[in-house]
Amino acid sequence: MPKAAYRVYVIELSRKVFTEDRKFREANPQFNGVLECLYVGMTSKTPQQRLAQHKSGYRNAKGQKLSSNIVEKYGRYLRPSLYQDIGPLSRAEALEVEKGLALELRRKGYAVWTN
């Protein structure tokens, strides 16, 4: 059985992402501007470490960028109330939960980005 070492996390994004990023807008046609813009991700790090990686434009040893451009530019802070009851999970579980949480938050009226 795989080790449960992954967490799903949510980062609040600046609302500017909705007006400035066409792909983000197109991914969120249901958004009416009332609730927040969010990023949903999964990580083997702590959510705090992962947010810091996103904000720094983190690249791995091979030079591959492992941070989201949207979070690097628009990320504000973690929203633990939206994920604190989730996990830890296996990698496969975390991937599924990440997708499900993004869909659930969109249904509630948030604008959501995920990789």
CB 56 within 8 A of CB 75: no
Burial label, 11 (beta-carbon count in 10 A; 0-12, 13-18, 19+)? buried
- The C-alpha atoms of residue 55 and residue 73 are separated, in whole angstroms, by 7
Give tens-digit pLDDT for 11-26.
999 999 999 999 999 9
Rounded distance, CA 83 to CA 73, Å? 22
pLDDT value of residue 60: 87
Q: How far apart are CA 24 and CA 78, in angstroms?
A: 19
Dihedral sign for Cα atoms in the order 107, 29, 96, 53: negative
**Domain extent listing, the chain:** 7-113
**Does this model's pTM top 0.85?**
yes
